[in-house]
Amino acid sequence: MLIQEHVSLAALTTIKVGGPARYFIEVTTVSEACDAITFARTRNLPLFVLGGGSNLIVSDAGWPGLVLKVGVAGLEEHLLVGKAILEVGAGEDWDKVVARAVAQNCAGIECLSGIPGSVGGTPVQNVGAYGQEVAETIQGILAFDLRDNQIRELCNEACGFSYRTSIFNSTEQGRYIILRVTYELMPGGQPHVDYADLKRYFSGWQGVPTLAETRDAVRKIRASKGMLISPGDEDSRSAGSFFKNPVLSVEQYQELSARAAAKKLRIPSYPALEALRKVSAAWLVEHSGFSKGFGSGRVGISRKHALAIVNRGDATAAEIIAFQEQIQQRVEDIWGIRLKPEPVFVGF
For ligand FAD, which is the closer residue by CB, 191 or 240?
240
344 touches ligand FAD (CB under 6 A)? yes
Angle 128-58-91 from CA coordinates, rounded to 5°: 50
Concerning whether 342 is annotated as a catalytic residue, the answer is yes
Q: What is the greatest pairwise CA distance in the chain?
A: 63
Least distance in angstroms from the C-beta of 50 to ligand FAD: 5
User: Among 18, 19, 20, 53, which residue interacts with ligand FAD (rule: CB under 6 A)?
Assistant: 53
Residue closer to ligand FAD, measured from CB, 124 or 138: 124
229 vs 337, which CB is nearer to ligand FAD?
229
> Interface with ligand FAD includes 88 (CB under 6 A)?
no
**Residue 209 interacting with ligand FAD (CB under 6 A):** no
Binds ligand FAD by CB under 6 A, chosen from 178, 260, 320, 327: 178
Q: Exactly one of 56, 109, 142, 217 binds ligand FAD (CB under 6 A); which one?
A: 56
> Strand 83-89 to strand 75-80: parallel, antiparallel, or no bridges (unpaired)?
antiparallel
Strands 56-58 and 132-133: unpaired
Q: Are strands 308-311 and 299-301 parallel, antiparallel or unpaired?
A: antiparallel
Whether 152 is catalytic is no
CB of 141 to ligand FAD, least distance (A): 9
Residue placing its CB nearer to ligand FAD in the complex, 133 or 260:
133
Minimum CB distance to ligand FAD smaller for 54 or for 280: 54
The residue range among 19-27, 148-156, 174-182, 294-302 that interacts with ligand FAD, by the rule CB under 6 A, is 174-182
Q: For residues 262 and 235, is the Cβ–Cβ distance under 8 A? A: no
- Closest to ligand FAD by CB, 107 vs 309, is 309
Site for ligand FAD (CB under 6 A): how many residues? 34
* Strand pairing class (150-155; 128-129): unpaired
Pairing state between β 176-187 and 138-145: antiparallel
Q: Which stretch binds ligand FAD (CB under 6 A): 45-53, 189-197, 243-251, 273-281?
A: 45-53
The DSSP line for 59-100 is -TT-EEEEEEEE----EEEEEETTEEEEEEETTSBHHHHHHH
Strand order in the sheet with 238-241: 238-241, 308-311, 299-301
List Cβ neighbours of 119 (8 Å cut-off, separation of 6 or more): 88, 89, 90, 91, 92, 93, 94, 97, 181
Nearer to ligand FAD, 19 or 128 (CB): 128
> What SS3 state is found at 284?
helix
Rg (CA), the chain: 21
Q: Which residue in the list 59, 164, 237, 238 is annotated as catalytic?
A: 164
What is the spatial distance between Cα 47 and Cα 61, in angstroms, rounded to a whole number? 15
- Binding ligand FAD (rule: CB under 6 A), the pick from 50, 66, 111, 309 is 50
Cα(203)–Cα(196) distance, integer angstroms: 10
The residue annotated as part of the active site, out of 241, 280, 288, 302, is 241
Q: Catalytic annotation on 26?
A: no
- 2 Cβ partners below 8 Å, 6+ apart? 25, 26
Asked if 236 touches ligand FAD (CB under 6 A), the answer is yes
In the bound complex, which residue of the shown chain has the CB atom lying closest to ligand FAD? 121
Window 104-133: contact mask with ligand FAD (x via CB under 6 A): -----------xxxx-xxx-xx-xxx----
Residues in the chain: 348
Among 16, 25, 37, 55, contact with ligand FAD (rule: CB under 6 A) = 55
**Of residues 47, 218, 227, 299, which one binds ligand FAD by CB under 6 A?**
227
Return the amino acid letter for 337.
I
User: Which residues carry out catalysis?
Assistant: 164, 241, 342
Residues that bind ligand FAD (CB under 6 A): 14, 49-56, 70, 90, 115-118, 120-122, 124-125, 127-129, 168, 176-178, 227, 229, 236, 238-240, 344
